[in-house]
Structure 1
């Protein structure tokens, strides 16, 4: 009975959020005495549409997090980012290669991502490397909805942009040292500055993290998900003239983690952080990447070239029966090389009523995938499956905006996208075959036309409304584990996104309030299905639709006192889906991993408690920082059959810090009340459901220094 009223409750949540922000903003005005306008929210510049723009002037659903907000809220992972962004849900479980990212109910499980992930304009094509520690970050941008025109393939749900800090004429030296429960020790460091003033600059930054596991393998008497990783980045920047900017980067990561603390759902619910496996889960990853970005601003246009190369080695061992019984376990090895090149031309920043951008993009990827399934409980069978996957693609794209009557912006865009994929596959077993031995080669070609049309009307300098329609596309591909050759490949999927929204800066820029409403039609949908062999395949199953809204804002209540809030509602369900494996019709079922709502409310207060703090080389005020966050995720289902449900849960985070000119000391707590929830839940056909518990309460102390 209550199900039918959930949209009403979501609307009430939206209205409550809007009303709370408006009332608090009005109180801020009532208490404001400085008529100079000094008390204002700082404008935020983003590059989401591949040019520098004020966030409030971009007619799209974009959320951005600045470097100050990253530090104040303690963001260090993609999961932390998702907790702040409406209708963004990230499911991290098992090992750091399992990062399932969903936006507005659209995403991917054990498949090419449906959300584009970019670091300094370089596309990370495989979601196995999404879950890396974030350090020395300038800004994080999240674009919701299909971004096919400017970003192309595999961005039909949205895009996440990570922008790192760049060296300049100022020396920046700093380090953060964190100590926490579960043996946490984490170090961040950075050094940036000039080699030749105004011309040549360098930058180095790094992160080291070690901690014990949150879960204990009782059978082996070992931690099951401990962490040990190192990451680093080096930059060299050359600006011989005011027009030319060249940035070369290299980054690397090495990690050695425990993996897959998965057990029965009954134990997850009753004893969440204990499990028993006879095979120890392991995850080792080594990755390296390089990029070269060249930007040149001429009088009539701007030119940008972005060259990227990425390589990673990924090795995983996991107990596939998730018990202490010696039934079956898996070993997986992935070797991946990716190369990408993009050339862009764009109008100059002062081009008046015409704004345009266009370019060419190309990529290639060579992936070697090896999966060994061991069945000691079934006669000692060992099955080896080796896949050599190659792909390459090209795209041409353009977008143009014309301003009419000084207030109306008319935008049109188009991208032509082509991709070729091929596979050489071999599967063999000994001493006998559970699945028939198989050798085959195949190739497929995918192409798409991805248009975009948008209208934006600027009612005033601080109020803008917009409406648009855009198409997204995720390419087809090959499965690397299947029982029938008919399931070896799958076709592309496509989405149409219809959206209207508003962006406002009110009360003399003390209140920013943005909202959007969307409807998404997804056809030829790619869905991941679990096999009795403890493997997965991707199949095209039909259509789904997603509809909902987002609202987010921040308000400056008084000097030093701010409030951030966001609320997202998603109603995503299958319009056509007949599962041939289960022999069931799932039409009308909810799309998995699509929470009904997400929300975040954060209240932060920063004030001086000493006007002069003359210790530890500091000569300035000593500030107190207090921040509290309430984050929530609504009901959703883990599987297409809607037989495994995750109930809504909420997390509370707190931060308390002392800040001086050169040093900060911060005490933090995540999941203050130790809320119990599942990080994942699933069931293979013929087996009982299993899952993994979400992170418990963690706390620690961070000492930060900078000069």
Structure 2
């Protein structure tokens, strides 16, 4: 719906385009990274061969390309975080994770996370993010349901770039693949408690155990968290707002009836309830930690996710069948309590049902000649039981006007995809293609009534519309294994996001939105140095984007005009490095630059946004961290993450200037227990994570304690 709460209109201001002033910061950041790299080289020259062999980075094996491969041998931009990485960096939310990934940002937006990646943003009427999240095979690309539970997780793989060939569900921007920890033949478990400022409490636990040795395993995990929020409520009957509680329960059963057959059953339940996120009203650029919020404001989310996967191993191939089901609900209400507000309250209640079926056959893991082919089907129904806005029209009409769009949408997608890798000595050529067809329909309904009595003042507007989109999505990658520790690659791939419908368009002729496409060019290298003690990976990319999804809104009229901007482009650089300085001491760094602009964007006949910066896209992002773990159990880690100038409207008049956040964690780990103290944003940096009619305030400095028992 293209606004701060996805149900109510906002005003977009126009203005003179402000020129970027971040180049000095970018140059300084690059200089810092190069200086650190030089220091790495000097330090490692003093290391003898025996020590280099003793202290080295672990080899990480991933399944990002649907085969078990070492991450340094995959010709693509991939970031991987193990369970230890997540724990050491105190990663508890999706936003925490994205702080460590270059050019990937989560914009927390009134209970919704808009994900932006390499200049690609969310689609404001299909509710889709450019990045798809997989949790044990269950996909989600909806902005309303991007909650991730990192409890009992084995690793997280972040694939950057269009993913249409390898995964059942297509993704125009990338994949976040969450793999939970499988059980073994030994019983193991963990209990964790957390206490922090702002009346924050958390408890989580997990247990992994064999039910039948070597045949049947069970994993259970639960994660509970509650906070009062860090915003002061100016309402006389309330103290704070932005508080919530959430609970996530997950179970996984792994069954190996034969040596050739493996079956996985996964189920998860998630519940969230709060009084809204940390937003302030008004057209202001000043960060304050207070506002006037009504006690009746509420936001709740529930979801049930089920999946079953069957994997059968033949002598030269593997067959995998994955079925998933999601039943989710989003319910929000808020009053607009600020002077001059034309819209005085609004909200929505949405129910989502999704079923997916994927069948994939691929070469066995030990084959040098790799291939894969698959079929995919998904059915998605969205029922907007209510999606409303109430306007202050008492002086003109004698009553406040209640506008409601209880509209339903339906989407069916079928796809066939495949990929093959041909080895030519030290060269590998990978080609792949996907055919996808999406059939979408909408049952539109608009109601206008009196807010006081509920009586309709106009006959409802209703219509049914449907359409389809289909596409061929090619991909090609050429890689060169220059040496055992150096791989160079180049790729070209098409990105694709199917069209859809504007849920608030009264005219059926203007409701349809065309598909968005991109051509993605990327080149990079992956290297290991000094006895595998330094990992240094880098990539450059260019995206040519066509028909980018945009939205034109009228706050006073309640109209929403969905459209496609003509074109845009995004280009940038991404660097990631890890350095094992000595036993227990590691340095980590990541850095990304984005130059993204609208090439063609005629907002209306009087306003042209061509040449403006892409919205919700930081001009750069970086993270530098250092961690140390002593044999005695002492542990310390410090991180600094930063973002460049970010614009939140196509007129580039709403801007969050560059900022940095510093985090620390220190504690002690024994054989069966551990305790840590942590601080997030320790220097109390003030910033917004979203700027609209509702500006979302980033968290101030927060300190807490974590205690854990393991068995």
| Match 2:403 to one of 383, 392, 396 | 383
Contact 1:330 1:372 in 2 (8 A): yes
SS at match of 2:144: helix
Q: Closer, same or farther in 2 for the Cα pair 1:435/1:158, shift >3 Å?
A: farther
- What is the aligned partner in structure 2 of residue 397 from structure 1? 417
Query: Which of 438, 445, 454 in structure 2 is aligned with 1:426?
Result: 445
Q: Does residue 1:45 correspond to 2:68, yes or no? A: no
Which region of structure 1 is more displaced relative to structure 2, 209-218 or 556-565? 209-218
Q: 1:245 — aligned with what?
A: 262
Instruction: Indicate the residue corresponding to 1:597 in structure 2.
Output: 620
Equivalent of residue 240 in structure 2, options 223, 226, 229:
223
Could you tell me which residue of structure 2 aligns to residue 342 of structure 1? Answer: 358
Q: Does 1:357 align with 2:352?
A: no
Task: Choose which of 548, 563, 570 in structure 2 pairs with 1:546.
Answer: 570
Specify whether residues 179 and 471 from structure 1 end up closer, same or farther in structure 2 by C-alpha distance, changes over 3 A only: same
The 2-side partners of 1:457 and 1:527 are apart by 39
Asked if structure 2 preserves the Cα contact closer than 8 Å seen for 1:223 and 1:258, the reply is no
| 1:508 aligned residue | 531
1:256 — aligned with what? Answer: 273
Matched, 1:103 2:107: no
Q: Number of matched residues?
A: 682
Tell me if structure 2 keeps the 8 A contact 1:152–1:473.
Answer: no
Instruction: Choose from 640, 651, 654 the match for 2:664.
Output: 654
* Bigger Cα displacement from structure 2, 138-147 vs 313-322: 313-322
SS, match of residue 81 in structure 1: helix
Higher relative contact order (CA 8 A, sep 6+): 2
Q: Match of 2:86, SS?
A: helix
Could you tell me how far apart the structure 2 residues matched to 1:377 and 1:132 are? 41
Mapped pair 1:667 → 2:686:
no
Residue 128 of structure 1 aligns to a residue whose secondary structure is: coil
TM-score by length of 2: 0.92
**Deviation string for 1:39-97 (max 9, x for gaps)?**
110011111111211110010011111110000011011000110000001101211xx
SS at match of 2:649: coil
- 1:29 to partner: Cα distance: 4.4
2:329 is equivalent to residue 313 of structure 1: yes
Where in structure 2 are the equivalents of 1:20-31 lying within 5 Å? 20-31=36-47
- Alpha-carbon separation, structure 2, partners of 1:427 and 1:78: 35
* Corresponding residue number in structure 2 for 1:677: 687
Q: 1:33 to 1:54 in 2, by over 3 A?
A: closer
Q: CA RMSD in A?
A: 2.2
Q: Are the aligned partners of 2:241 and 2:293 in contact in 1 as well (CA < 8 Å)?
A: no
Distance 1:313 1:323, change over 3 A: farther
What residue number does 1:691 align with? 695
> Does residue 1:559 correspond to 2:583, yes or no?
yes
SS of 2:166's partner is: helix
Q: 1:325–1:449: structure 2 CA closer, same or farther, 3 Å change rule?
A: closer
Q: Which moved more, 1:40-49 or 1:429-438?
A: 429-438
Deviation by residue 1:632-664 (Cα, 9 ceiling, x = unmatched): 000111110101111000000000010000100
Q: Do the aligned partners of residues 325 and 400 (structure 1) sit closer, same or farther apart at CA in structure 2, a change above 3 Å counting?
A: closer
Q: Does 1:624 align with 2:634?
A: yes
8 Å Cα contact 1:318-1:330 kept in structure 2: yes
Q: Match for residue 613 of structure 1?
A: none
Cα gap change, 1:668 to 1:52, in 2 (>3 Å): same
In structure 1, list runs of 5 or more residues that go unmatched: 610-622, 684-689
Q: State the Cα distance separating 1:7 from its structure 2 match.
A: 5.5
Task: Give the distance between the partners of 1:3 and 1:125, measured in 2 at CA.
Answer: 33
CA distance in 2, matches of 1:694, 1:706: 33
TM-score by length of 1: 0.92
User: In 2, are the aligned partners of 1:276 and 1:324 still within 8 Å (CA)?
Assistant: no
Structure 1 residues 309, 47: CA separation in 2 closer, same or farther (over 3 Å shift)?
same
Q: Distance in 1 between matches of 2:456 and 2:225?
A: 43
Secondary structure, aligned partner of 1:204: strand
Q: Distance in 2 between matches of 1:327 and 1:9?
A: 40
Decide whether the 8 Å contact of 1:279 with 1:329 is kept in 2: no
Structural mapping, 1:113-512, within 5 Å: 113-151=129-167, 155-219=171-235, 220-264=237-281, 269=286, 272-278=288-294, 280-320=296-336, 327-352=343-368, 354-369=369-384, 370-375=386-391, 378=394, 379-404=399-424, 406-431=425-450, 437-482=460-505, 484-512=507-535
Q: Distance in 2 between matches of 1:37 and 1:18?
A: 25
Unaligned stretches of 5+ residues in structure 2? 1-16
Of stretches 34-43 and 693-702 in structure 1, the one that deviates more from structure 2 is 34-43
Query: Once structures 1 and 2 are overlaid, which stretch shifts more, 56-65 or 16-25?
Result: 16-25
Q: 1:246–1:295: 8 Å Cα contact kept in structure 2?
A: yes
Structure 1 stretches of 4+ moved >6 Å: 432-436
Contact preservation (8 Å) 1:59, 1:456: yes
The answer to whether the Cα contact below 8 Å between 1:263 and 1:692 also exists between their aligned partners in 2 is yes
